[in-house]
Structure formats: C-alpha cells, structure tokens
Structure 1
C-alpha cells in the first residue's frame, strides 16, 4: 500500500494551477497550458488510485495512456487553431473581438 498524501496534494496543486490558468488568463496559449495541467492532474490521479488498490489495476495505467493520447491530439488541434487566429488577427487575446467579428 502506498501513501496517498503526496500524490493527492500534487493533484490538487495541478488542478488549482490549471483552473487559475484557464480563468485568469486571456491568452489562448496560456489557457491551453491550463487545460494540459488539468489533464496531467487527471492522469496522475488515475495512476495513483490504480496503484493504491491491494490488487493493482492495470485499468488506471491504461486509461492514463489513453488520456495522454487524447491530450496530445487536443493540443495539436488547439495550437493549430491558435496559430490560424494569430495569423488572421495578429494576437491571441480571447476577450478582444476581431474587426471582422463585429
């Protein structure tokens, strides 16, 4: 049986930092970093809970690999969209409306 305090504290710190990055930032790239921190926290939680059982489940590790794959695809698509918005508008501020959006 492993001690769960340190991994769970780290999950809490990652979630808090990710939520702060999403809520407090206007830059799309920084918001994507916040989303990635949330996904990393979910992966760490899956691995920790899978290893904490008396009979270690492989499901936690399998789901974490699936989560990493989904996160990689998500960041690739989102960064492509951010680059397209930057080329069109010149910045990636999500609160400012573009001239053609008005």
Structure 2
C-alpha cells in the first residue's frame, strides 16, 4: 500500500508547478491551464486524506467533485473572457491587457 506522503508530495509538486506557471507566464491560456493544475493538486490532497487518512470517508471525494465542477465553470468563463479580449485587442498576452490601469 502506498503511503500518504507520496500523494502529498505529488500534490505539492503539482501545486508548485502550477503556481510557477501562473506567476511567470504571459499567455492567458497557459495561465488558465496552470490554475487548473493547482486545483487538481488540491483534489489529490482531498482524495488522499479521505482514502488513507485516520477518518476515512467519502467527504474528500464529494469535495473533489465540487472542485471539478467549479473548475469547469471557471474554464468556461475564462475562455469567454479570453475570446472577448482577443476580439478587442487581437492579443492574449497578459502584459498588454492593462484595462484597469490609470
């Protein structure tokens, strides 16, 4: 049986890769993918704790289903915003979209 530290280390690595991508990338599609990677790392943690933890139950799987549904809605809204930005500015570079700047 695999120990819980393996899953926690895997989730931490995935979360750090996603965080690095969000903070350093300029392409909006890559930023959305990195946010999804961070959400999936949290899902791995929840499933690992609910399956292997001291009080094993179904709560982690239920929360993971909520995370997946929220992530799907986030991608739909994010892609709609991305398409609107591309139609207005003809670019999806993060640096060029400074609409809230004075």
Name the Cα RMSD after superposition.
Answer: 2.0
Q: Which runs of 4+ in 1 moved over 6 A?
A: none
**Counterparts of 1:98 and 1:38, CA distance in 2:** 25
Paired residue for 2:3? 3
How do 1:71-90 residues align onto structure 2 when only pairs under 5 Å count?
Answer: 71-90=71-90
Paired residue for 2:66? 66
Paired residue for 1:33? 33
Q: Which runs of 5+ in 2 are unaligned?
A: none
How far has the Cα of 1:54 moved from its partner?
4.1
Paired residue for 1:13? 13
How far has the Cα of 1:88 moved from its partner?
1.3
**Counterparts of 1:54 and 1:18, CA distance in 2:** 29
Q: Which runs of 5+ in 1 are unaligned?
A: none
Deviation digits for residues 7-64 of structure 1, max 9, x if unmatched? 1121011111100110001111111111001100011100001111244211000000
**Counterparts of 2:56 and 2:85, CA distance in 1:** 45
Between Structure 1 and Structure 2, how many residues are aligned?
Answer: 101
Question: Which TM-score applies when normalising by structure 1?
Answer: 0.89
